[in-house]
Every structure is written in C-alpha cells, then in structure tokens.
Structure 1
Amino acid sequence: MRLHLHLDPLGGIAGDMFVAAMLDAFPDLTDRVLADVAAVLPRDAGTARLERGMSRGMSVLRFGLHGGHAHDHHHHHHHDHATTYAALRDRIGAAPLSEGSAHHACAILHLIALAEAAAHDLPLEKVHFHELADWDSLMDVVAAGSIVAALGDATWSCAPLPLGRGTIRTAHGILPVPAPATARILQGYDWIDDGIGGERVTPTGAAILAHVTGGRPAPTPPGGRMGATGMGAGTRDLSDRPNVLRVTAFDIAQGADRDRVVQLACDLDDMTGEEIGAATDRLRDMPGVLDLTLLNAQGKKSRPVTRMELLCDPARAEAVAARMFDLTSTIGIRRTEVARLVLPRCSTTVAGMPAKTVGRPGSTTTKIEDEALRAHETLASRRAAAKNIV
C-alpha cells in the first residue's frame, strides 16, 4: 500500500483542524499523539482533548486544550522568553517524544519562524511567536509532527485554499487576511475567493500544509482506492457550509511512482535548423531538464513551425524558461504542471555492458544502453546482440 492524503479546506486550515481531521480518519494514532502532546506541555497548561461534535449538520471532531492557563496571559508588557523560536525548538527537542515527532514538529515550527523573521526583519533566533504564545498552538505543532511521522512516506495534495477577507487583530496591530506569515509560507499555492470573510488559513495551518506537501502544491489527488476520511472542525460557524478541513486517504496503485513536473512549450517559426539544434543541445544540458522534444507543426499564417516541448523539475522551471527566452526567438512560453507515472528503475550491467532495469507491475525488464550497441553496423546485428545479452 502507498498512502496518499488529500486535503479539502472547505472551511480553511488551522493547526487544530488538521489534527482533528487526521485523528478522525486515523483514530489508531490518537494515543501516540496525545502522549507526545502531554510530554511537551508544562503540567499546568491543561490537557489535550478530542471531542465529537457537529458543524452545520455534519459529524466532526474537534481538538483543543482544556483546563490550565495559557502561559502568556500575564506577560502583556514584555516578550516571554518561553515563546521565542529558540526556546520552543529546544523544548520540543528535550521532550521524550515518539520517533520522528520532534523532527517534523521542529520543521513546521521552522517554517513559521522563517516567515515571521522575514515579515519583521529579525534574526531567526530572535523571532517571538505571538501566534504561538498560547500552549494550545504549540500543542498543534507537536501533534501535527507526531501524525506526519507516524504516516511515514505518505504523499499529500490539497485543493485550492480559501482566501478569506477583511482584517485580523494581531500583536502588530490590524493586518489584512491572509496574515503576512501565512502569505509568505504559501507562495505558489492556489487560492480561491469563496465569498466568506475572516482568517481562513492560519500561520500554523499554512506551515503544516507547506511541510507535508514539500512546498510543492498539488491541487488534485492522483487517484486510487479510497480509504478513510476525516473531518476536523474549527471554532467558527460559517454561514453556508461546515467549518471543516476534510482529509481523504487513498491507496494509490502499486508499480508506478507519481510526481509532478512542469512542461514548457513554444512554437518557433523564424529560426534555422542549426539555430534550433544549438538551442536544444544547451537546454538539454541544463540542470533540472528531464526531456526535450521537437515536433513539426503548422502555425499561424500557414507557416511551418517547430514546436519545442520541454519537461523540467518545478524547482528549476523559472531558470529554464529564462534560458529558453535567451536561446530561442520565442516571445511566449506555455507553462503547464503535468502529473507523471514513473516506473522504478536502476542502472546495472549485463555481460559487462551498461543496462537499465525497470520494475513493472507484473515483471522486471532489462535493456542494454544504446551506447553499448553502437559498434554494430546493421540493425539486425544490433538486435541480435541485445537479445543474446539479455
């Protein structure tokens, strides 16, 4: 089984909504998560609690801190050292947590700290977490880290995020929605305006989403056999929908790995064959370029054109596009995000010759690399050699 988790932020995403949705879908993780939370919270902070409830007629789970006192309530006039990034990171690191929980919790915390440092022009170690000033927010980070660690190498996708409207009151005064830290963390993600105002995605929710998706948003699940679903509710009541984050689990098909690449394409109608060949060679040598294909087509005004289609790593797409503009005469490039199915493969040797072995759903195939067969002068001898070797 290969687990894929798809998030539907109908109401939005906050830390407590994520934890509640995941534990609704995977109740077997509850003991682990609550133990990790108890290990990191001070004794007088209260107790983490899961509660079954309703949100506009839907059965939902809520996650929150009950009893105790939020530790910043008596520190209105100065920064509490316990809420600096360094102090919270050290607290997580010192707690006796389940395997992997501290790693993922600290990674989520780090994303929030980077965004806050950039927003306020502060060194990372000096960042003070106003939005994590209550113990329940630190609890959300640790609980999310525990869940992500327990699910191992699961992959994630998320539907477009609700933008929200209006302003929120923060320690830095009134700010527009989404908050600056949220906007920084989720640059490159898809957003929609569904007409409902307020803060719909919190910095903690944003950091959890960016962490599980690796900063590379995929808006749709890859498909597969549907498994568990869960709904985690926030504290607000929305006018026309449940205020929930829904998670849906899929067992995606065995055999092929799914990833996402960027396709860059343009049509060239005023370059010579030599110029196109030179540009193609240089583009193929660029880091992150996975494939490049040239196609003959007919363009506007019945001109013959060469269509250049290039696949590349999303992280390199901007650099590759800039190089395409430098090396070709095009004045426009089409950019599309493409889902791929990729079979596992490895390089090997057969009879002393380099070969590639591919794992297929029902078998394994091996093919001699082209360079090793180029010495054969005819197609027949080349095919015979490859057949005998394999």
Structure 2
Amino acid sequence: MVYRCIQVQRGTITCNVRFRRHPFSTIFKTSHFHLAIFIWPFSSGHFHLDSRMHYHLEPVGGIAGDMFAAAMLDQHRDWQDELATAIADSALADGLAVRALTHTDGLLSGHRFLVTEPTAADQEAHAHRHWSEIRELLLGSRLEQAVMRRAIAIFELLARAEAEVHGMPVEAISFHEVGAWDSIADIVSAAWLIERSGATSWSCSSIPLGRGRIEGAHGQLPVPAPATAALLRGFPVFDDGLDGERVTPTGAAILKYLAPTFGSQRSPRVLIGQGYGFGAKVFPGLSNILRVSMFDDPPGYPVAAPIGVCEFEVDDQTPEDLAVALDRLRELPGVLDVIQTTVLGKKGRASAQIRVLALLPQIDAIIDSCLIETTTLGVRWYQANRRTLAREVSNHEISGTHVRVKRAHRPDAQVTRKAEMDDLANAPGGHAGRERLRHQTYTLDRRASGDNPSNSETQR
C-alpha cells in the first residue's frame, strides 16, 4: 500500500511525498527542517494530495441528486458535518440545511440525503426559477469558487437540455421541480462532494432507463423525462422491466458533468471503500441504491479518459485580435489546451488552425465561446481518448527561490521530473544560474521522495 504524507515546514505545506510503510504519524527532525508526517491510506480531501483517486458509480436502483450525495457521504462519513456547514454558510437561503441519515431496506444499509428547505413563504415565492436567476443566486453565494463553478456547470447542462426539448433559448428556460430548494441543495452538495473528492477519473455501469409516466408541472411526461433523455444521449442504458423513474434530470446532469467512462476497467486498482446512497422510491425485489466505489490507481498506470477536441480555421481575423480570443478560450473552465498552427486554406490563403482540447461536460459552452470570440463560421468537434500518467507536484525552497517540480510515474517504474521554468526564471546568473538551480532542485526532490536514483530520471 502506498500511503500519503505531507511535509510541513514552519507551518506551511512545502511538498508532497510518497512512503511505502505501515500507517502511523510521527515527526522527524533534521538539520534543515522538522518533517511532520501524517499518513492516510486514501485521498485526503481538500488538500488533494492523491492525484489518482478513481470513483465508480453503479446505479442499481438508478441515480438522482440526493442518491449521489447520500452515496458519497456514506463512503466519506467524516465529510457530513463539513458539507452541512458549507451549505449553512453559503448564504443561498436562510434555513436551508442538509444532512445524511443512516438507512436500511432490510437487505442493505447506507444513507439517505435530506434537505431542510427555507420558509414556506420563500419557497412559494420561488416555486419556478429561471436559469439566469439560479446562476445569479450561485454567483452571489459564499460558496468556494471551485464549488460554485461546478454547480453552475451542472445547472447549465440542465438548462441546455431543457432548451433543446422545449425549443427555447437557454436564457429563457424556467426550472420547475429542478428549481425547488431541494434540487438546488442536491446539485450544490454534489458539486461540493466532487470538488472535495479530488477524483481524477470517474466510471459508471450501464444505466437503467425505467418506464411508464411521471407527473410534471404541466402534465404527464414519459419516462425517462425528455430532458433526462437528452442528457443521457450517448450513455449505455438498459430496461430491466421495472416501472418508474430511475434517473432524474438532476442525476442525469451530474452524470453528464462527470463524463464517466463505461465498460470494464482492465488496469489494476486498489479498492479503498464503497458507499450506498438510497433513493426515496421503493422497487419490488430491488434495493433502490446508487453504489459508489473508490479506488486508488497504483503509480505508473496511465489514466484513460475521453476528452473533446474542437477544431476550426480562421483567415480573416487579425493576429493581435486572435491572440486575445485564444487567451480568453484558455481561461474557460474545462479547457485543457489551445493549440494554434499555420496552414494553407481555401484559395491558398494562410490561415490559423485552432485546436481546443476540452473536458466533455463543458464542450457545448466552449464551442459557443469559440463562435463568439473568433470569426469562424463553424466548429468541428469529436471525442478522443486520452491517456495520462500519474503526476505529482512538489514544492521546494532553494536559496530563497521557490521551485515547483512535476513528477511523472512511467509504466516501467521510472520517475521523471520537470522543474517549472516560470520558477527557474527567477534564478540569478543567467543560463548557468538556472541550470544550477534546476539540478539542485532535482537532487533535493529525489531525497524528499525517497526515490532510488537508478529508477529516477530528469528531463529538461
């Protein structure tokens, strides 16, 4: 088992290292610093010390926002008070509160997720909310920025699905059931839990569709609801013969946001734990649960995850204005990289070919931004598979210069290192000074991580 630890120097976290040893906590003293080691056999949450946590979802009964929150809190029971405090302090509404309660159906035990709504008067006054109203509500909250962005992204996926099925502009969409306080709390809680988990990848089993009809705000709707079906497009689904709604719009939006992989996972993983989240419905002969399993990927095994690739050419936008546009694209949530190359386009014109690598949940918003920021009249996009190595970032102070080092674990057990050039640029002495600082940093980083020099390489 690889256990995690942090090095603390003068009260601040200075580097992350890995130790293969039995779990314990202790302090080592050297001539340079005091090393306080706190060891966990799993992800440490807010600090995101473990960059290789993988979560797998099994919608046995289905998936809804409250089931996702309940399953995550059943796995991470020590997060329950933290989430309750985050919602209470969010300033979304007076009296809005969440809690997880233990639950059993006689076969399995887990948790239910319950929301205490604001006053009846406030609830009635906001029975229906426009997407723009919910966005402003979240922007004006006291939620952490990362949590707020995730919640807005999930709601935007819902708004786009509703706009598609109703044939309306996104900004004109008015939420009914999803605009209620319990649904808002479910999505915000899901965003908080996703951020808290530090997960780098998600996967999911096939999704039960359900059958029959449900009562909506304006009459009966087929199961799955039209917006739910739009969100599930491209996901593997099946019909197990049970009537009722198995996937809610909120649950489908969370799935869409996570962009999980489907199918068998062949890479070896360490199972850390599982959580069971119960839904409100009762199905005959079936536990209405969502199971969440948490895994730790051993170092050296690449992570495979789908991404979106957007491509387009521009031949009628000035270089200075295009540079501004591409900088704005790089700042968008979900954008992994923006690449520009020069090509010959139609009529032999020199053109700029733009390629944007993006996370799938934000792909629609990113395409819209491409069409807004540049003069292109269209964008091609497709899904591509990407494999990435396990990576860690350590931090070092050398002669008053702060230097970050990125470690990558190769499949052959080699560890490669790359010092951040932005940090090396602060070194005095020109090229020779930068090279000296680089090699000093690599030597210190090897010692801090306990790597065998024969299994360690550096790269410039």
Name the TM tier (shorter chain). 0.5 to 0.7
Instruction: Give the distance between the partners of 2:359 and 2:171, measured in 1 at CA.
Output: 31
**1:218 aligned residue:** 262
> What are the superposed Cα offsets for residues 243-280 of structure 1, whole Å, 9 maximum, x if unpaired?
10000000012113221579xxxxxxxxxxxxxxxxxx
1:42 equivalent in alignment to 2:93: yes
- What is the CA-CA distance between 1:37 and the residue it aligns to? 2.0
> What are the superposed Cα offsets for residues 8-65 of structure 1, whole Å, 9 maximum, x if unpaired?
00010000000000011112322332223222442145x3121111124211101112
Query: Which runs of structure 2 are paired with 1:195-344 in the superposition (5 Å)?
Result: 195-213=241-259, 217-221=261-265, 222-259=267-304, 343=389
Q: Of 174, 183, 189, which residue of structure 1 is paired with 2:220?
A: 174
Contact 1:40 1:91 (8 Å CA) reproduced: no
- What is the CA-CA distance between 1:190 and the residue it aligns to? 0.6
Q: Of 121, 124, 141, which residue of structure 1 is paired with 2:170?
A: 124
**1:142 aligned residue:** 188
Query: Which runs of structure 2 are paired with 1:66-215 in the superposition (5 Å)?
Result: 66=116, 68-69=118-119, 74=124, 80=126, 83-213=129-259
- Long gaps (5+) in structure 2: 1-49, 308-357, 361-382, 392-406, 418-460
Instruction: Give the distance between the partners of 1:9 and 1:138, measured in 2 at CA.
Output: 21
Give the residue type in structure 1 aligned to 2:79: L
> What are the superposed Cα offsets for residues 181-238 of structure 1, whole Å, 9 maximum, x if unpaired?
111111000111111110000000001111112xx54234454000121001001111
Aligned in 2, Cα 1:201/1:344: closer, same or farther, shift over 3 Å?
closer
Aligned in 2, Cα 1:251/1:365: closer, same or farther, shift over 3 Å?
closer
- Structure of greater relative contact order (alpha carbons < 8 Å, 6+ residues apart): 1
Percent identity over the alignment is 38
1:33 equivalent in alignment to 2:83: yes
- What is the CA-CA distance between 1:133 and the residue it aligns to? 3.2
Structure (1 or 2) with the larger CA radius of gyration: 1
Aligned in 2, Cα 1:44/1:30: closer, same or farther, shift over 3 Å?
closer
**1:298 aligned residue:** none
Contact 1:72 1:133 (8 Å CA) reproduced: no
Contact 1:99 1:149 (8 Å CA) reproduced: no
Contact 1:158 1:220 (8 Å CA) reproduced: no
Instruction: Give the distance between the partners of 1:99 and 1:150, measured in 2 at CA.
Output: 13
Contact 1:62 1:234 (8 Å CA) reproduced: yes
- What is the CA-CA distance between 1:109 and the residue it aligns to? 0.6
Calculate the aligned-residue CA RMSD, in Å.
3.2
Contact 1:229 1:248 (8 Å CA) reproduced: yes
SS at match of 1:122: coil
**1:363 aligned residue:** 414
Contact 1:256 1:341 (8 Å CA) reproduced: no
Give TM-score scaled by structure 1 length.
0.64
